[in-house]
Amino acid sequence: MTTERLYLSSIDAAYEKEFTATVTQIQENKISLDRTLFYPLGGGQNWDLGVLNGPNGQLNVTEVRGRDIIEHTVDDVLDLEVGDEVTGLIDFERRYAHMKMHTAQHLVSGIAYELFDGVRTVGNQIHTDRSRIDFHPIQFTEEMLLQLQSEVNQKIKQALDVTDSQMTRNEINAIMPQERTNMDLLPSFINDLRVVTIGDQQDMCPCAGTHVRNISEIGEIEFTGKKSKGKGKQRVSYILR
């Protein structure tokens, strides 16, 4: 049975903290549910932490992975059985940090594309206290990074809304170049996509991550370093203040 991802129903759903669900599968210390708010590792974003409260006590969720079926790793299943109802509570401080970091990544990638001749984002890693983006092809100078940082922070002050919608590949391709949305990196059989948009197409990208409602929530970005990853690829690290 596929796990329903509650956090994907809307941008607002990412702010929800508590949910109820039914246990569908237990394998050692991994629990699958019919529905969940817990974000699993994927798309460069780290998993959520939190607890599941079952009929026999509280279970600490230490890892969340999976695609169709999402598995919640716990320290002890406490005699939990398939069919039991649980109440989940996510660590929202961690979730919200990821929401801000991931939205910042979209904004940085969109502005970098505009500033530096269509440079592409080819990877990213989202953490609570620091994150990074891999760009190609480019060799950033300190002046270029300062320019990018300034442009991003100025844009954040404009307080643009973040929205999501369901679109087909053709609909997205009619609006944005494929190299900007990284559409060519998605498997060709995937046609219906959740698309996250900042403002009036300041950035538009297929994404299953969690995001803030408005970029003003990001605060201020600061680039903390750059590293060459070979063959024209550079990794840029950032924090939020």
Give pLDDT tens digits for 90-109. Answer: 999 999 999 999 999 999 99
| Residue 5 predicted with pLDDT over 80 | yes
Tell me what the pLDDT averaged over the chain comes to.
96
| Residue 121 predicted with pLDDT over 90 | yes
Total Cβ atoms within 10 A of residue 101: 29
| Residue 185 predicted with pLDDT over 80 | no
Q: Does the global pTM surpass 0.75?
A: yes
4-90 fold: Elongation Factor Tu (Ef-tu); domain 3 (2.40.30)
96-240 fold: Threonyl-tRNA Synthetase; Chain A, domain 2 (3.30.980)
SS (HEC) of the chain = CCCEEHHHCCCHHHHCCEEEEEEEEEECCEEEECEECCCCCECCECCCCEEEEECCEEEEEEEEEECCCEEEEECCCCCCCCCCEEEEEECHHHHHHHHHHHHHHHHHHHHHHHHCCCCEEEEEEECCCCEEEEEECCCCCHHHHHHHHHHHHHHHCCCCEEEEEEEEHHHHHCCCCHHHHCHHHCCCCCCEEEEEEECCCCEEEECCCCCCCEHHHHCCEEEEEEEECCCCCEEEEEEEC
| Residue 180 predicted with pLDDT over 90 | no
- pLDDT at position 46 is 97
Query: CA-to-CA distance for 193 and 17, rounded, in angstroms?
Result: 25
| C-alpha triplet 104, 124, 214: angle, nearest 5° | 15
User: Same fold for the domain at 4-90 and the one at 96-240?
Assistant: no
Give pLDDT tens digits for 22-66. Answer: 999 999 999 999 999 999 999 999 999 999 999 999 999 999 999
The reply to whether omega before 206 is within 30° of 0 (cis) is no
pLDDT band at 178 (very low <50, low <70, confident <90, very high): confident
Domain ranges in the chain are 4-90, 96-240
| Residue 141 predicted with pLDDT over 80 | yes
